[in-house]
Amino acid sequence: MFGNLSNEFWLGNDNLHALTRSGNYELRIELGDCANVRKFAKYSSFSIGSAQEKYILKVTGYTGNAGDSLLHHSGLPFSTKDMDNDFHPLRYNCAVNNHGAWWYGGCYYSNLNGEYLKCQTTTTRAASWRTFHGDHYSLKFIEMKIRPRGD
């Protein structure tokens, strides 16, 4: 775990794997823009693979009003600046280029671990959600929440 529980916090992929391997979990992502418009994306099934599986992301069952910018990343391993697991055709490290670790392909439809760059900034480094203002819009608010699925 790292960050500050009152504002920025990442539970960690080992902890996410430990939680999600033991049962059925859902994921809800809350997004906010600089005009305080809020949108959400909910996935009825969410899990993270083990370290040996390179923390592969698995999501299905999208509902919401933010658009589905995470399904593209489902089935992909987690990439960091020192562990390049993405599949960029030019072979550069998406985590380095986009200033944040994420489940990159080549490179992203969403990048919620990108930089918070204040309002109206457009860059590949921005924390963004493609179907809500495009890939390079710096979101003002992001919250990812998981809970056991109530089947």
* Domain regions of the chain by residue span: 2-148
CATH architecture classification, 2-148: Alpha-Beta Complex (3.90)
pLDDT tens digits, residue range 55-68? Answer: 999 999 999 999 99
Name the pTM for this structure.
0.89
pLDDT of residue 5: 55
What is the pLDDT, as a whole number, of residue 23? 73
What is the predicted pLDDT for the residue at 120? 64
DSSP state of 108: -
Number of H helices and E strands in the chain, helices first, is 2, 8
Low-confidence ranges of the chain (pLDDT < 50): 1-3
Q: Residue 14: in which H helix or E strand, if any?
A: helix 13-20
Distance CA 95, CA 118 (A): 20
pLDDT of residue 135: 77
State whether residue 44 is helix, strand or coil: strand
Q: Greatest CA span in the chain, whole angstroms?
A: 43
What's the Cα-to-Cα distance from 63 to each of 6, 69, 77, 132, rounded to whole Å? 27, 11, 23, 14
The structure tokens listed for 52 are 């040996």
Whether the ω angle into residue 107 lies within 30 degrees of 0, i.e. cis, is: yes
